[in-house]
Amino acid sequence: MKITIDTSTNSRTIELKKPVCTHQHVRTEATLELVVPMIARRFRAAIIMPNLKPPVTTFTHLEQYKEIIHRANTTGHLFTPMMTLYLTDNLNPGEVDLCGHHAVKYYPRGLTTNSADGVENPQALWSKGSKPHQVLRLLASTGKVLILHAADGFAREGVIVRGTQYHADEELDPYDQEPHFMRETLPRIIDAHPELKIEVAHLSTKEGAEFMQKNGGKRLGCSITCHHLLNDRRDVMRGGFRPHLDWRPVIQPKDNTQALQELCFSGHPFVWLGMDSAPHPRKVKEAACCATGVLTAHAGIELYAEAFETFGALDQRFENFASNNAANFYGLADTDTTITLVNKPWKVRGSYLSGNPDEEIIPYRLGEEVLWRLVE
Ligand code: NCD
Ligand code: ZN
């Protein structure tokens, strides 16, 4: 990574190895055509989430989807979509086997967008004989990665999470879902599948950060989003609930954001970039029950540069987090391709796909500034 300072204009330019994003929702049709070029300009590869309707659960579907993504990359940039299969209670291990080096994504049923087909009871992950258990064994034996949406919907037994007592099977508060998963579910998965490579996606809590500090390494890593680094719950609630800052996992209170910042900026090799850019049409965000997820891909790498700069970590730690750590974990080839960023603020001016009221998307930071700019 190279930082150049022009003292006459006080502008700074960063050249860094082209990054990798481990978490993108590109959807289908017009949204896909909008989002894929945004990603291809900023990332040399990105992991594509499988929570379509219906979810991607077969090799055939995965290959078709990959082809559509390739065709939507009209930028002329080389871009590798890293495809994933959606783990259901019935996902056929044979399909996983067919899918070469690709990963599998775990969704807890009912806890996020299009998760109705997710695993109903996490116990299936360590119960011998279940389909999910077979899938995890296959992943472990072939060196493929299980990506976790690390949340539980229900308390395992009489547990106290963050001071709240829950009885067995009681619904958990959304702010307690990841802490419960970190204590009750992730250790059991690791015990049952010690050889399995696991990525905890979009780590969002201090309990998650603590778990990673202790256990992160060659087989266990995590991604962190820019919204979890740049925001805390006050931003989501300021003046009223803000649907365009609503994701799962939820953005937590300040002490959690600080724990994530500390983990992220300590330069661990098992922590990397994963945006969880998750566009939804405006009409389903501004609705009686707001769809969770927001578009961030329009400023994908710029927002991370802003976070690293704010916390004095805009040095080799930034390039490792953005370009090297996930590439090493997922076994991607190194690259000579670079991107360039300059610290010239720009305003996110408009919504996307605004010609069609059914598709219009409100991006993260609409009407506000982003401090770094991609040089194209
Ligand atoms: C994602 C989506 O919209 O598909 N939403 C979100 O809030 N993150 C699903 C997910 O990754 O949980
Ligand atoms: Zn996601």
Domain locations in the chain?
Answer: 2-375
Averaged pLDDT for residues 25-32: 98
pLDDT value at 298 more than 90: yes
Instruction: Please tell me if the CB atom of residue 317 comes closer than 6 angstroms to any atom of ligand 1.
Output: no
pLDDT value at 102 more than 90: no
208 CA to middle of ligand 2, Å? 17
pLDDT of residue 30: 97
pLDDT value at 84 more than 90: yes
DSSP character string of 175-203: GGHHHHIIIIIHHHHHHH-TT-EEEE-S-
In this predicted model, what pLDDT tens digit does every residue of 242-293 receive, in sequence order?
999 999 999 999 999 999 999 999 999 999 999 999 999 999 999 999 999 9
22 CA to middle of ligand 1, Å? 13
* Crossing angle of helices 300-310 and 254-265, rounded to 10°: 90
Helix (H, G, I), strand (E, B), or coil: what is residue 114? coil
Instruction: Please tell me if the CB atom of residue 220 comes closer than 6 angstroms to any atom of ligand 1.
Output: no
pLDDT of residue 344: 96
Average model confidence (pLDDT) across the chain = 97
In this predicted model, what pLDDT tens digit does every residue of 321-348 receive, in sequence order?
999 999 999 999 999 999 999 999 999 9
In this predicted model, what pLDDT tens digit does every residue of 46-66 receive, in sequence order?
999 999 999 999 999 999 999
346, β-bridge pairs: 370
Which residue, chain included where needed, has tokens 């009912």? 110
Instruction: Please tell me if the CB atom of residue 149 comes closer than 6 angstroms to any atom of ligand 1.
Output: yes
Query: Which residues make Cβ contacts (< 8 Å) with residue 194, sequence separation at least 6?
Result: none
Averaged pLDDT for residues 152-162: 96
In this predicted model, what pLDDT tens digit does every residue of 178-192 receive, in sequence order?
999 999 999 999 999
Q: Which atom of ligand 1 is nearest to the CA of 23?
A: 11
Residues with CB under 5 A from ligand 2 (ion): 276
What is the torsion angle, in degrees rounded to the nearest 10, for the CA atoms of residue 122, residue 127, residue 132 and residue 137?
130
The answer to whether 7 and 31 are in contact (CB under 8 A) is no
Averaged pLDDT for residues 194-220: 98
Q: So which residues are the catalytic ones?
A: 276
Averaged pLDDT for residues 85-112: 95
Which residue's CA lies nearest to atom 9 of ligand 1?
113
Averaged pLDDT for residues 341-356: 96
Ligand 1, from 292, 294, 362, 364: best to mutate by most atoms within 8 Å of Cβ?
Answer: 292
DSSP 302: H
Question: Burial, 148: exposed, middle or buried (Cβ in 10 Å; 0-12, 13-18, 19+)?
Answer: buried
Averaged pLDDT for residues 355-368: 97
- Provide the percentage of residues in the chain whose pLDDT is more than 70: 100
Judged by average pLDDT, the poorest of 4-13, 188-197, 321-330 is 4-13
- Provide the percentage of residues in the chain whose pLDDT is more than 90: 98
pLDDT of residue 100: 85
Instruction: Please tell me if the CB atom of residue 204 comes closer than 6 angstroms to any atom of ligand 1.
Output: no
The answer to whether 245 and 226 are in contact (CB under 8 A) is no
Q: Which two tokens stand for residue 376?
A: 């194209």
pLDDT of residue 10: 85
The hierarchical CATH code for the domain 2-375 is: 3.20.20.140
* Res. 194 pLDDT band, cuts 50 70 90: very high
